Structure 1
Amino acid sequence: MDRLNKVEIEHSLSALLADCKVECTLNADGTASLMVEGPQGEVFAVTGLVRSTYHGQSGLKRLAEQIFEDIELARQGLLPQRALPHHSEADLEIKIVL
């Protein structure tokens, strides 16, 4: 992910996350933000991704698995395991925007 451009990230993650549309924003601080639209129209935001953490195809697969797991937990109404407790729902690392 650290060597891919915005369009490459979007296409790669969309292929790995079946029936999901992915929009990517590359931030000036070197991180990436994703908007993932699920097959039922629900939207999930993932922010502050350190791109170098997800190197190569194996890194993209790991990220897709983490996103998928967190989407499933959010659908069940459970707090994602990787998200830290925050003071408001708007500050959640992964949030549902319906």
Structure 2
Amino acid sequence: MAAMFSQNPLMNGPNYSFNDAPRAAAPEGARQHRFDPYTDNGGSTLAIAGADFTIMAGDTRLTSGYSINSRYHPKLFKIGGTTADQKDATIVLSVVGFAADGEP
């Protein structure tokens, strides 16, 4: 798990999933890469609840390795409403990690 927070290119390099870093395939240092359609796009969310309130917050940055793909990608989504725009929804979904998991 130490590589999860590392920005060291020798450990996990840009554009690699944190759990599947490149490995040496030969003694001379050749690197072997494997296709993995899932990537950790980062993100942070926080929720605080009390007896009669709940506060949720999330960042809006979407990254891939060292690249920032968007600064306006939401991490909190209203769900469970009866209208298409979810204005009357009372449930909030928090999604971080693989960005496509939160896409409608």
State the TM-score bracket (shorter-chain normalisation).
under 0.3
Query: Could you state the TM-score of these two structures normalised by the residue count of structure 1?
Result: 0.24
Q: Which has the larger radius of gyration?
A: 2
- Say which structure is richer in helix: 1
